[in-house]
Amino acid sequence: MSTPEIIVKPLNKSDVDRVAIIEAASYGNHHWSKDSFYSEINNRVAKYYTATAPTEEIAGYIGTWHIVDEAHITTIAVHPDYRRQHIAECLIVKSLKDCYNKFIKYITLEVRVSNIPAIKLYEKYGFKSLGTRKGYYQDNNEDALIMWTENIFSDEYKELFGKNIEELEKKVVISCPKE
């Protein structure tokens, strides 16, 4: 059996319709609009990527803002039909590699306190909970964990990242066409 290939590439305008479908399937009534994604494509501090599943359909996306030496993961989602296939992990790896290339030391995000699979994935990549935002999510007033990495240029973090990539590459092939 061959290793599945996940293609990670920059989000472009022709991807927005599919991304909006994933967004709605993932976040229900309180999701970003297509206009929000179009705006992010033109945001000079934003980096957005899609991940294409082995079916060649866009299965997920991630967005980050790069501000000085910090990055903030603004959004990440995988269509319910493609979850648990390492797509979110491939997107996180791509974003972290971008951070290394831009000399960004710290990454932060918010995640629902009830989203245990996502929290475990973030913890795998060295994110730690440093507090909560009470009532952060509008749909149900759920709290968000605020998660941060340590300095990703530390020897300890680089070792963790390298080990995780090595493990991931046994399960999928990550392709990133030139930007």
179 assigned to active site: no
Cα 126 from chain centroid (whole Å): 14
Query: Which of the residues 48, 49, 82, 122 is marked catalytic?
Result: 122
- Beta strand extents in 34-143 (DSSP E only): 46-52, 58-67, 70-78, 106-112, 128-133
**Active-site residue flag, 150:** no
d(CA 47, CA 136): 23
Active site residue: 27, 70, 106, 110, which one?
Answer: 110
How far the first Cα of the chain sits from its last, in Å, is 30
Residues annotated as part of the active site: 110, 122
